[in-house]
Amino acid sequence: MYPPPLPSEEEPLHLPPPMIGQDTAVKEYTMGTARSYFKLWFERSDVLRSQLRWAIFALAIGWCLTAWASPALALALGMVLAISIGHPFHRLGHRTAKVLLQICVILLGFTMNLHAVLRAGADGAVFAVISIGVTLSAGYALGRWLKIDPHTSMLISVGTAICGGSAIAAVGTVIDAQEEQMTVAMGTVFLLNAVALFLFVPIGHGLDLSQHQFGVWAGISIHDISSVVAACNRYGPLALTTGTAVKLSRALWIVPVSLAVAWMAGRQRRAAGSNTAGPRRKIQIPWFIGLFLVACAAKSFIPGMHVVDPAISRISTVGLTITLFLIGAGLSRRTLAAVGFKPLLQGVLLWALIGGLTLLAVTQLR
């Protein structure tokens, strides 16, 4: 109950003084509560978005297990999901794709004859030596002409010349390439590798290439082993044997090329007056190629292996489909943004050079 009115205008001494800043305190409390609410809402939204991405990727991988899936469609689906919603397990997916690809290649060996594989590899050996030398030389010249960072130019060149991402990773480790340089080279080679998967089969049919011709051409001109196997599998069984053998024989060149690059890098450091040789880098050796040859030998010399051919072929095809989906999902927006015009131009020109010269050469084969 309020006190009665005073006869004078003097302030009563017995009333408490007004609370200074009461409105401000109420406002700060209200705003703090609102901020906490919205922060909690956004955190829950992030969790929901992450769970949704996992669910979508799980459904996509489940689709890769069905008969409706194909390696080319899986690659395209992975790229679309990576660009639109992002990859929920990027690093795990990269490691899984690498191991799964090696397992699929080894399984393919159980469906191939060792003599045919060795013969195809020997036939492509001359093409391999010449094409690798031409590609590395042209890549060095293009890099200087386009004024591209030397390490980035070298990584794009070895990725085109040998076996795509595997060669880039091996040589990048040897020359201590920075993450940005590796990203640019990987992105450039990946984009062209994806285009090749969709482009080579129609061109082969349009030029009426035999399966042997197509296998040699794809094994030399397509960057990564995964796309070589996928494209050749669509073209025919002989193309698959030839293309796989040619590509794996080229992958062995990772070792001598990495050693040569390490020697040149050390020589340049010594010429620059640097006394520190730096830590020794472990060269990545593609050991799985030896297991592939062991599988081919088992197919050739163990009786009754032809009985399990259909099952092994189906397992390797499904595994390759999942591998290409994971590879496509590894294409992030950051990778696309990192690939500049000049590195992409170098990659396109090198690819056109090696693909065109190889195509002219294989048309002379019978």
For 291-327, how does the pLDDT look when each residue is reduced to its tens digit (9 = 90+)?
A: 888 888 988 888 877 788 888 888 888 999 998 888 8
Buried b (16+ CB within 10 A) or exposed e, 186-211: bbbbbbbbbebbeebbeebeeeebbb
Extract the tokens encoding 330. 């590894």
Angle of CA points 115, 120, 123, to nearest 5°: 125
- Coil/strand/helix, residue 13: coil
pLDDT reported for residue 2: 47
pTM score of the predicted model: 0.78
DSSP state of 163: I
Cβ 128 vs Cβ 246: under 8 Å: yes
pLDDT digits (tens, 9 = 90+) for 4-47: 555 554 444 454 555 545 555 555 555 556 555 555 554 556 66
In angstroms, the CA 192 to CA 180 distance is 19
Percent of the chain with pLDDT over 70: 81
pLDDT reported for residue 205: 93
pLDDT reported for residue 11: 47
- Please state the rounded mean pLDDT for residues 159-184: 84
State the chain's mean pLDDT as an integer: 81
- Please state the rounded mean pLDDT for residues 104-111: 88
Beta strands in the chain, from DSSP E residues, in sequence order: none
- Please state the rounded mean pLDDT for residues 160-182: 83
235: pLDDT strictly greater than 90: yes
- The alpha carbons of the chain give a radius of gyration, in whole angstroms, of 30
232: pLDDT strictly greater than 90: yes
Least confident piece of the model among 24-38, 58-72, 101-115: 24-38
pLDDT reported for residue 51: 79
Question: Could you state, in order of their start, the residue ranges of all structural domains in the chain?
Answer: 67-269+281-362
- The more confidently predicted of residues 110 and 283 is 110
Least confident piece of the model among 40-44, 204-208, 265-269, 335-339: 40-44
Extract the tokens encoding 310. 């259909």
- Please state the rounded mean pLDDT for residues 219-244: 90
